[in-house]
Amino acid sequence: MTTLTWTEAAPGVWRTRIGDSQALSPLALVGAVPRMKALERMAQAAPPFQWNDIRVEAAGGGRRLLVLPLTADEKLHGTGLQFMRMNQRGRTRYLRVNSDPKQDTGETHAPVPFYVSDRGYGVLIDSARAITMHLGSAVRLDETCQADVRDRNRDAGWKATPPSSRAEIRLPEEGADVYVFSGPALADAVSRYNLFCGGGVLPPKWGLGFWHRVPALFSAEEAMAEALEFRHRDYPCDVIGLEPGWHTRSYPATYEWDRERFPDPEGFVRGMLDNGFRVNLWEHPYVSPESGLYGPLKPLSGDYSVWGGLVPDYSLPEARELYAKQHKEKHIDIGISGYKLDECDGSELTNNAWIFPEHASFPSGLDGEQMRQLYGLMFQKMTNDLYRADNRRTYGLVRASNAAASSLPYVLYSDLYEHKHFIRALCNSSFSGLLWSPEVRRARSAEDWIRRMQTVCFSPLAMLNAWGDGTKPWSFPEAEPVIRRYIKLRMRLLPYLYTAFARYKETGLPPFRAMPFVVSPEELVRAEERRSAEMTLNTTDGAYGKRSIPQWDDQFMIGDQLLVAPLVEGEEEREVLLPAGSWIGFETGERYEGGGIIRVRAGIETIPVFVRDGAVIPMTAALPHALRPGEQAPLEFVHFGAAAGECELYDDDGVTLDHEHGACGWWKAVVTKSEDGIYKGELSGPAALPASYGSVSWSFARMGLDLHGK
């Protein structure tokens, strides 16, 4: 047993080094500077255990285990973008990057070796290795409680996974830095993690508008025609995404424009910008022999190929420079807004398996396992740095990530497509400094289509990915009015969303939050016990005929004031856990008392969204695209219910990084109610109005938005 020495790396953040210092870990790669001032401002609290309760123990095979105590009812959340469950307690999590995470092993596109406890602390292993965490799933013989040994023949209480009071984390051979983040609440531990990783991301305003990806082989002309159809049909859209067909060759890729489909890339991008569209480019890491980059990158690449292409070692500055120069000249300088960084994950497990092996070696000395774990982060960092050098913000998509990604402007997506899993991933991403898009592709029916579109419009990136099937928002004519209404509602909510992201940057509190951020552990346990909604069999316990405990992993908060409880195809009603206080149906205007479970019905034309009584929601017009610098729109403060209330509003130019040097402002809108019941609104801040808004109006005591008239 080794005694660990803990040092306070930042207020409320403790570090210990086990083994040697690692040259390349997620934290080192991202190189984010902790937001010390914000960390200092947080109330200080110690973790709820003694430091000498955390130990390193020798284990079989010469391995070392980091062991932390767990209390009987403690729940553990996080470990990255998990699709299958929200409470990871009692599970073994094998945190390896995997492009096809169909099983509940812990493997996923973005496995993050960071978990938070509902007792209010977080634990991070900062390592480039795939970490295995036994989160109360391994029971030592000397700890086995005899009373817990049941007879499965006779005892219905028999459990496949007996409880363990230890979290055992298998440490990489070479060691790792371990961090503990204190609370006092789960939300504080997550905020500290995000602040330590540089603060949350603030996307450009256009990133929060609607995105549409066109079919893979579309030409410039076809892409432009489809974009303009959004304008003609009165559907807002900010970003058009091009898929593999813009490259001269793909799988592996060249990063060079195909001149047949795109004879004049510069003119195409300019034309798009003139019409209010940004262009996003698909790419993946594997460099085609036909690419001008192939020759120079070859000596800087690994010893295995993928689809016949190079796997460059972008931990080397020379390799990064080659990539950066080409991307800057050919894409960024002509106005490309960002990338979709595809297939930087990979898997051996699928039918069409592809990826370099873990035993691959790279010129920097990294091996295949480390490269697989870090590849997604490397691309995020490289491309973000390119935009930063130009004083521009980017917002894009990535299919692999890891720890320390909080400040990187990328949103995860997947080829998986189970709507319920997509909603759960949205909840789970909030525990690990990640953003997730439940993208829409095809649909089985108009109902499936509407339900998915409703969910995506209330997510970090509202996108239709029609790369393979050519769907468009108007593909189901009978669904058109509903789809248009929700895309427009998202546009109207941009001031609220943008402010929630600005708060993420400043305080580390994520804009989209799972229920454990707002409901106490005790209340959640009570609510779980009472939940009567259809319960799903999970694969492991299913073999024993056990039902899993229903989690509140299908509803989430956006900012402090909105709660979203999506429905999926086939559902017209559901249970919703409302935190304490009074709530109002955002569209229906119905009033509810919180602090428990309600049951709501909603036909396909409505997604259940709730707003707190007294909430003041900053909204704007449903513009065809988000405001560009210098443009203005009307600002509207919509006050709901009866109680007085207030809100914050953040504003800046929406596209540059000048906000990092103070070119931004926070306003406060306060709604008061006089004794004779007259409401009044007042806006205060650094100027009478934020620069993005030409006028301000107020509406008071609203019982729901009248969307149907809009």
Q: Does 652 bind ligand GAL (CB under 6 A)?
A: no
Residue with smaller CB distance to ligand GAL, 262 or 637 = 262
Helix (H, G, I), strand (E, B) or coil at 665: strand
Residue with smaller CB distance to ligand GAL, 216 or 621 = 216
CB 60 within 8 Å of CB 5: no
Question: What x-and-dash track marks residues 179-218 binding ligand GAL by CB under 6 A?
Answer: -------------------------------------x--
Helix (H, G, I), strand (E, B) or coil at 491: helix
Helical H runs in 307-418?
317-330, 368-389
Q: Least distance from C-beta 267 to ligand GAL, angstroms?
A: 25
Q: Least distance from C-beta 439 to ligand GAL, angstroms?
A: 8
Q: Which residues contact 527 (CB under 8 A, 6 or more apart)?
A: 519, 552, 577, 596, 597
Q: Does 467 bind ligand GAL (CB under 6 A)?
A: yes
Q: Least distance from C-beta 379 to ligand GAL, angstroms?
A: 14
| Burial class of 317 by CB neighbour count within 10 A (0 to 12, 13 to 18, 19+) | exposed
Figure out which of the listed residues 465, 471, 499, 551 binds ligand GAL, where binding follows CB under 6 A: 465
In order, the DSSP letters of 119-134 are TTEEEEEE-SSPEEEE
| Unique residue bearing structure tokens 């091996």 | 367
Residue with smaller CB distance to ligand GAL, 88 or 347 = 347
Helix (H, G, I), strand (E, B) or coil at 316: coil
Size of the site for ligand GAL (CB under 6 A): 9
Residue with smaller CB distance to ligand GAL, 465 or 620 = 465
Helix (H, G, I), strand (E, B) or coil at 702: strand
Residue with smaller CB distance to ligand GAL, 119 or 419 = 419
| Unique residue bearing structure tokens 């707002």 | 518
What one-character DSSP code corresponds to residue 203? -
Residue with smaller CB distance to ligand GAL, 258 or 342 = 342
Residue with smaller CB distance to ligand GAL, 429 or 465 = 465
Distances (CA, A) of 619 to 477, 623, 685: 28, 11, 17
37: how many CB neighbours lie within 10 A of its CB? 10
Residue with smaller CB distance to ligand GAL, 34 or 245 = 245
Q: Least distance from C-beta 242 to ligand GAL, angstroms?
A: 10
Figure out which of the listed residues 415, 590, 646, 660 binds ligand GAL, where binding follows CB under 6 A: 415
d(CA 575, CA 260): 53
Q: Least distance from C-beta 465 to ligand GAL, angstroms?
A: 5
Q: Least distance from C-beta 216 to ligand GAL, angstroms?
A: 6
Residues 306-345 that bind ligand GAL (CB under 6 A): 342-343
Residue with smaller CB distance to ligand GAL, 395 or 517 = 395
Q: Does 346 bind ligand GAL (CB under 6 A)?
A: no
Residue with smaller CB distance to ligand GAL, 14 or 286 = 286
Q: Least distance from C-beta 231 to ligand GAL, angstroms?
A: 25
| Unique residue bearing structure tokens 């001032």 | 37
Structure tokens at 28: 């080192």
Q: Least distance from C-beta 699 to ligand GAL, angstroms?
A: 40
Q: Does 244 bind ligand GAL (CB under 6 A)?
A: yes
d(CA 621, CA 268): 28
Question: What x-and-dash track marks residues 565-594 binding ligand GAL by CB under 6 A?
Answer: ------------------------------
Residue with smaller CB distance to ligand GAL, 358 or 415 = 415
What one-character DSSP code corresponds to residue 79? E
- Angle in degrees, CA 296, 300, 306, rounded to 5: 95
Residue with smaller CB distance to ligand GAL, 216 or 689 = 216
d(CA 607, CA 455): 8
Figure out which of the listed residues 179, 196, 268, 282 binds ligand GAL, where binding follows CB under 6 A: 282
Q: Least distance from C-beta 426 to ligand GAL, angstroms?
A: 18
d(CA 411, CA 143): 42
**Residue 704 — φ and ψ, nearest 5°?**
90, 155
Q: Least distance from C-beta 185 to ligand GAL, angstroms?
A: 36
> How far from each other are the two terminal CA atoms of the chain, in whole angstroms?
67
Residue with smaller CB distance to ligand GAL, 243 or 648 = 243
In order, the DSSP letters of 364-390 are TS-BHHHHHHHHHHHHHHHHHHHHHHT
Query: What does the chain come to in residues?
Result: 710
Structure tokens at 212: 């549409």
Q: Least distance from C-beta 198 to ligand GAL, angstroms?
A: 27
Beta strands in 183-254 (DSSP E): 210-213, 239-242
Q: Does 83 bind ligand GAL (CB under 6 A)?
A: no
Closest listed residue to residue 585, CA positions, set 570, 567, 607: 607
| Unique residue bearing structure tokens 């130990």 | 55
Q: Least distance from C-beta 535 to ligand GAL, angstroms?
A: 31
What one-character DSSP code corresponds to residue 315? T
Closest listed residue to residue 608, CA positions, set 639, 654, 634, 575: 575
Q: Least distance from C-beta 342 to ligand GAL, angstroms?
A: 5
Residue with smaller CB distance to ligand GAL, 282 or 395 = 282
Q: Least distance from C-beta 413 to ligand GAL, angstroms?
A: 7
Structure tokens at 129: 């290795």
Q: Least distance from C-beta 359 to ligand GAL, angstroms?
A: 24
Q: Least distance from C-beta 99 to ligand GAL, angstroms?
A: 8
Structure tokens at 644: 């007085």
Indicate the pairing of strand 121-126 with strand 175-182. Answer: antiparallel
Per-residue 3-state assignment (H helix, E strand, C coil) for 540-605: HHHCCCCCCCCCCCCCEEECCCEEECCCCCCCCEEEEEECCCEEEECCCCCEEECCEEEEEECCCC
Q: Does 243 bind ligand GAL (CB under 6 A)?
A: yes
Residue with smaller CB distance to ligand GAL, 415 or 560 = 415
Residue with smaller CB distance to ligand GAL, 6 or 417 = 417
Q: Which residues bind ligand GAL (CB under 6 A)?
A: 216, 243-244, 282, 342-343, 415, 465, 467
